[in-house]
Amino acid sequence: MATVVWIDPGCCRHEKKCFQCSLKFQHQVFSDFLSEAVLRYSDSHLQLLPLQKDTTNTVFYSKNKIKRGEIMKTRIFLLFAFLAISAISGGCSKKTETNTAMLDSTMLKPFKPLPEMVEADSNPITEEKIKLGRMLYFETRLSKSHKFSCNSCHSLTNYGVDNQPVSTGHKEQTGDRNSPTVYNAAGHIAQFWDGRASDVEAQAKGPILNPVEMAMPDEATVVKTLKSIPGYEEIFKKAFPDEKEPITFDNIAAAIGAFERKLVTPSRWDKFLNGDETALTDMEKKGAVKFINTGCVTCHAGAYLGGQMFQKIGLVKPWHAQNDSGRYALTKKQGDAFVFKVASLRNVEKTAPYFHDGSVDSLSQAVDMMGEYQLNKKLNAEDTEEIVAFLKTLTGELPKEYIAEPELPKDGPNTPKPVLN
Ligand code: HEC
Ligand code: HEC
């Protein structure tokens, strides 16, 4: 640990300049938000740890390990969060009264409206690619049994989920994790609960070959199958006009990725962020204030209210199930035990059951548990009700035309038959 700086839960009394003056703000943010936790950076993510005797009032920075950009980003965010908090709590008083009038632009700084699409230089979006990607999204012949497509577990007319604790794939096998929604997922820092795929293109390759999902034996079989279906050749050529042999495993993933990059669901919350004061009711505004005030915004911010960092589930109290170690299984680093991607809260009203293990059916219960496990705060019934009301404003409109199921080309004479075992 390179530098130790003080955090003062007493709020405001502490005017010492720490290793950068802006840290002054952090003290106050954390004394308001999280008087019982400290902030610590580990290699790649920031962690909030319960206060222990020897670390009381202390924030550790391991300067050598942190990328500067990340510190800066976090600082800027914390600064905004502080401004927001001071706006509602009147500077340094401990008052937490909810005043919806205060939900002004300063307080809303940690949030952003959704983009129209999530662009990437690595995979430019074209109409032709989207058209192909949409077909492949619904293509059951990308599965061994010809029974499963992406849409089986991520139903586009059902907010991109199957509403099952864990999904069922090939031969009725079940996986270990809940299927997250594909809507707005392209904008996250990484894909999967543990972030093991860097983007939606890399992600799309996973389920096709996963033995408990679509169960294709290898990439070559996937490519051979699509080549055997008359019609696909031409559609791939249009989507990838510069390529001689456009039907490749990479291009399948690129087309599906391009389609997913426009699965975006703006909601009343975006209208509100864009200046329409009437888009939210008073109750919903109160909920937004509570969401910020309680500290949910520390992790659930940005356009997706999540999806931008990895955090430990069960920060202040061990998570109720300990069988899935999250990112630890990937990195084998102790600090990554039970660390998962912070879930986006877009459409959360519709995507039950909740958490990586699908262990919780009710949104109110999920909210209460976040208070308990992440923030060491017991929310009362009114707090929960208002926060839930706010979360429901994140339910967007599904892009009906964009997700309309396309007609798929028929089998050719050499198209492999479904294999059920
Ligand atoms: C049998 C069910 C099943 C099928 C079929 C399936 N998925 Fe998934 N999907 C899941 C589960 C479960 C996860 C979470 C797994 C994890 O995090 O370890 C997931 C994760 C994802 C994610 C990550 C979202 C996020 O927020 O991190 C995306 C995107 C996605 N799937 C897209 C697809 C696409 C595209 C296809 C088709 C090529 C597909 N899925 C097929 C069950 C399925
Ligand atoms: C310290 C970071 C942190 C804080 C603070 C936090 N969360 Fe979370 N939240 C997470 C992580 C990480 C997940 C995903 C955990 C998992 O399932 O493994 C999550 C998941 C959720 C989910 C489930 C979403 C889904 O699709 O399964 C909801 C709802 C939620 N949070 C709401 C809240 C609310 C409301 C608050 C404030 C009371 C809050 N969170 C505070 C990190 C945090």
Ligand 2 atom, smallest distance to 375 CA:
5
C-beta 298 within 6 A of ligand 2: yes
Residues with active-site annotation: 213
Per DSSP, the residues of 198-212 read SSHHHHHHHHHH-TT
Domain ranges of the chain: 1-97, 127-260
Euclidean distance between CA atoms 247 and 223, whole angstroms: 6
Strands 310-312 and 339-341: antiparallel
- Residue 44 scores a pLDDT above 50: no
- 28 in Cβ contact with 82 (< 8 Å): yes
C-beta 153 within 6 A of ligand 1: yes
Residue 83 CA neighbour count, 13 Å, CB half: 14
Q: List, for residues 137-182, the tens digit of each pLDDT value.
A: 999 999 999 999 999 999 999 999 999 999 999 999 999 999 999 9
Name the residue with the closest Cα to ligand 1, atom 22: 192
Local structure of 59: helix, strand or coil: strand
C-beta 319 within 6 A of ligand 2: no
Under CATH, which number does the domain 127-260 receive?
1.10.760.10
Beta-carbon contacts of residue 173 (< 8 Å; ≥ 6 apart): 211, 212
CA of residue 375 to ligand 1 center, whole Å = 29
Beta-carbon contacts of residue 62 (< 8 Å; ≥ 6 apart): 1, 2, 41, 42
Q: List, for residues 96-143, the tens digit of each pLDDT value.
A: 456 666 788 889 999 999 999 999 999 999 999 999 999 999 999 999
Q: In sequence order, what are the beta bridge partners of 326? A: 339
C-beta 294 within 6 A of ligand 2: yes
Ligand 2 atom, smallest distance to 345 CA:
24
Beta-carbon contacts of residue 381 (< 8 Å; ≥ 6 apart): none
Strands 339-341 and 37-41: unpaired
Q: List, for residues 352-396, the tens digit of each pLDDT value.
A: 999 999 999 999 999 999 999 999 999 999 999 999 999 999 999
Q: What is the pTM of this model?
A: 0.83
C-beta 155 within 6 A of ligand 1: no
CA of residue 160 to ligand 1 center, whole Å = 10
Euclidean distance between CA atoms 192 and 181, whole angstroms: 10
